[in-house]
Chains A and B, each alone.
Chain A
Amino acid sequence: MSVRLNRRQFGGMVGGAAAASTLASVGAFAQAGDSVRLIWWGNPDRDRRTNEVIDLYMQKTGAEVVPETYGWGDYWQKLATQAAGRNLPDLIQMDYRFIFEYARRGQLAALDPFIGAQLELDDFDENQLASGRVDGSLYGVSLGANSMTHVYKKTILENLGVALPDPTSWTNDDFVAMGNELKGKLPEGMYFSQNMGSLEPRLEVWVRQRGKALYTDDGQLGYDLQDLQDFFAFWKDLQDQGLTPPADVQAQDASQKMEESMFVTGRSLFGFIHSNQLVANQNLVEEEIDITMIPNQDGGEPGQYLKPSMLMSMAESASNKEAAAELMNFFVTDPEANDILQIERGVSGDASIRERLIENLTDTETKIIDYLNVVATHVGALPPPPPKNAGELDRALRPAWDAIAFEQISVEDGAKDYYDNAVEILERA
């Protein structure tokens, strides 16, 4: 090997290397022939269940199904890229946050023509169906209901002889008081609660308890600066009291992966999850865990709501829409399929499926049903759909909170920065 170069040769080399590598591209995959493509985000457990249902469907009908799955973090990038390449899968697991955007941009097929034909939705809960409607047409069928919740380590609480107050009426003050009572009694390295100052869903509960919402119907911010300040102040106070982990420890859950959450890694007694995630969390935690309602503010309104954990939508570009609708129907209404799926994606909106499932649930799954039954009597209405750029606001909350948590900025200024920034981002939409 020789590295004797003169200036001219060398210039060519470096120039080429710089040009070739700065800008990269994303390739699209070839469209599968007559089969139905199905894409979802998930976890190993969900992937296993979903693949089993697909196998069952192919066995029963002889149809061909091509599955595709990603983690939540990569999913939306993948989907957007496929939409840009006009290569969307036929059936798409959809989130309430994005269904309006995709439907209004003509990417999704209206499902109304298939109802009564391929899609049998007679037994389906009207509230859950409503969550899939955009501008009067059905663009997604709910795969199950869930709700935001606090999760806690039941075994530890019981061992300490501490009882949880009535979940439907406990307040933030009760929550903090319990934290102070338990201080110093928890296992080493475990704090009372995960810090939730960076979590948009937790902020949403906070503002809903005050009769407001994250967003208004016309896509503006639905709460005031004062609400945000109070929210940040509450969590900063908990951090200062040592009830939640220090900022640098808490920041280790930035990836929002379940395995890295404070709750799962043994650093907190309380955590924040969605109810359908209880089973997956229990698989990762040694102690017995349970879920309970999120504490309210004094005299507050219900902050939580039942939401579709996820929906199934059909791409407008689907080549064989009837075949896609049949597979969708299989997922939503087939008893055998739901014996496999159970309530991993949330509790089914189909009444007969629900009855069938309840008989065979594990203890952990029963907790979810019990919880949702309690929540159902203390919930508010489904909030307006998030506007475009809402995802950006969600992500921006973390650095905003971190700046406060690491004491680079005061609660007041940090809240104001985020609020002004949020208004600007929504205007840019």
Chain B
Amino acid sequence: MPSTLAARLAKEWRQSGPGYMFLLPWLVGFFGLTLGPTLASLYLSFTDYDLLTSPSWAGLDNYEYAFTRDRRLGNALEVTFTYVLFSVPLKLAVALLLAMVLDRSVRGVAFYRATYYLPSLLGASVAIAVLWRQIFGAEGLFNQLLLVLFGWQGPAWVTHPDYALSTLVVLAIWQFGSPMIIFLAGLRQIPQDLYEAASMDGASGWRQFWRITLPLLAPVIFFNLVLQTIEGFKAFTQAFIVSGGTGGPIDSTLFYSLYLYEEAFANFRMGYASALAWLLLVIIAIFTAIAFWSSKYWVYYEDEAR
């Protein structure tokens, strides 16, 4: 019955075709560019590969080295976890706060939204990282401000092991734009009549925030949380530029991905770096899984019965 098959296909196409068309660019990129190197890196992670000579099979050596003997990996993990732990919640809090401020209809709100989004467009760029280096340097803008306001000469923040990571966290927080935009959209979805009813019942603004805004925004918060956590684990550019490519001082900004990069392209241990990349994938997967598991306790979607 070819005619019915054709009809079924035609119907299927009418239903899902445009969807696949929209997916096409991503699919082409994934199968054409991403999948091959990804599989290759899985193979390379079981080899000894210095880029100049052919890879030789090493079995689980790379993973064994990572787990038992690598002196710097523990530190890289600690730095990365610290960074994620502080930068993600703080960034989300700032993003939500500003989204709520910008949600009001005041004159020129579109302009403010664009302005506040700007740092995110520039954020991960080399130029901003260079700028950061200047602002938080020994005679940077920040220290000059401290000098004028408090008469106190601060240290060179970006190159002091006690503060370098903090400056990167601040830089991350400053890039609140993309979660802010998503929060804004989420806020728009909350029915206004809920607020009207609540204020009619005499609920304070604070109470409305906790009882209406936060619960109804939970799916969006969850979405932002997962995306920003993944971003945080992958952070590279800022640390690379601010530390002059060293992850210093004293490895205090040696992010996981920076260490991975150094092993691959500076120490020519591509096999080991591939193993590190896969370990990072597993770490991110675990954290994402934890987030999903925990979400059933705090995230409610509108289409499910409570």
Contact = CB atoms under 8 A, between A and B. Distances in A.
B102 interface: no
A421 B244 contact: no
Interface string A127-163: 0000000000000000000000000000000000000
A105 B266 contact: no
Contacts of B155: 248
Given A105-B53, A256-B244, A2 B189 contact: yes
A24 B37 contact: yes
A18 B250 contact: no
Contact of A17 (B138, B189, B230): B230
Interface stretch (B5-13, B109-117, B284-292): B284-292
Given A5-B223, A6-B301, A10-B219, A399 B250 contact: yes
A18 B284 contact: yes
Interface string A1-38: 11111110011001111101111110000000000000
Contacts of B87: none
B156 A18 contact: no
A223 interface: no
Interface string A357-399: 0000000000000000000000000000000010110010011
B51 A84 contact: yes
Interface in B245-288: 245-246, 248-251, 262, 265-268, 270, 277, 280-281, 284-285, 288
Nearest to A267: B138
A23 B138 contact: no
A251 B38 contact: no
Nearest to A77: B265
Interface string B27-53: 001100110111001000000000111
Nearest to B161: A406
B119 interface: no
B242 to A, nearest CB: 10
Contacts of B158: 252
A107 interface: yes
Contact of B265 (A10, A80, A392): A80
Interface in A92-130: 101-102, 105-107
B34 A408 contact: no
Contacts of A256: 244
B159 interface: yes
Which of A1, A6, A248, A398 has its CB near the most chain B CB atoms (within 10 A)? A248
Given A6-B303, A20-B34, A22-B281, A408 B250 contact: yes
B71 interface: yes
Main SS of chain B's interface residues?
helix
A184 interface: no
B146 interface: no
Interface residues of B, number: 59
A255 B267 contact: no
A3 B221 CA distance: 11
Interface in A331-360: none
Contacts of A102: 52
Interface residues of A, number: 54
B219 A105 contact: no
B215 interface: no
Given A1-B185, A408-B161, A25 B227 contact: no
B182 interface: yes
B52 A80 contact: yes
Interface in B217-231: 219-220, 222-223, 226-227, 230
A403 interface: yes
A73 interface: yes
Interface in B131-175: 137-138, 155-156, 158-161
Nearest to A21: B234
A254 B37 contact: no
Interface string A404-427: 001010000000000001000000
B238 interface: no
A118 B302 CA distance: 78
B245 A255 contact: yes
Nearest to A260: B244
A14 B223 contact: yes
A10 B159 contact: no
A402 interface: yes
A402 B161 contact: yes
Given A3-B186, A254-B159, A25 B267 contact: no
B20 to A, nearest CB: 14
Interface string A45-82: 00000000000000000000000000001001100110
B79 to A, nearest CB: 13
Nearest to B291: A14
Contacts of B160: 247-248, 251, 406
Contacts of B30: 20
Contacts of B301: 5-7
Contacts of A106: 53
A105 B265 contact: no
Nearest to B160: A248
A15 B267 CA distance: 32
Given A14-B223, A18-B288, A255-B245, A76 B266 contact: yes
Given A15-B288, A101-B52, 20 more contacts: A3-B182, A6-B303, A7-B304, A14-B226, A17-B227, A20-B34, A21-B234, A23-B34, A25-B34, A76-B265, A80-B265, A80-B268, A248-B155, A249-B138, A249-B159, A254-B244, A389-B267, A391-B266, A395-B262, A406-B249
29 contacts: A5-B223, A6-B304, A7-B304, A10-B222, A15-B288, A16-B26, A21-B234, A23-B41, A24-B37, A25-B34, A76-B266, A77-B266, A105-B52, A248-B160, A249-B138, A251-B159, A252-B137, A254-B244, A254-B246, A254-B249, A260-B244, A391-B266, A392-B266, A399-B249, A399-B250, A406-B160, A406-B161, A406-B250, A408-B250
Q: Which 8 pairs, one residue from A and one from B, show the smallest C-beta to C-beta distance?
A: A255-B244, A25-B37, A251-B159, A77-B265, A254-B244, A248-B156, A84-B51, A248-B160
Interface of A: 1-7, 10-11, 14-18, 20-25, 73, 76-77, 80-81, 83-84, 101-102, 105-107, 247-249, 251-257, 260, 389, 391-392, 395, 398-399, 402-403, 406, 408, 421
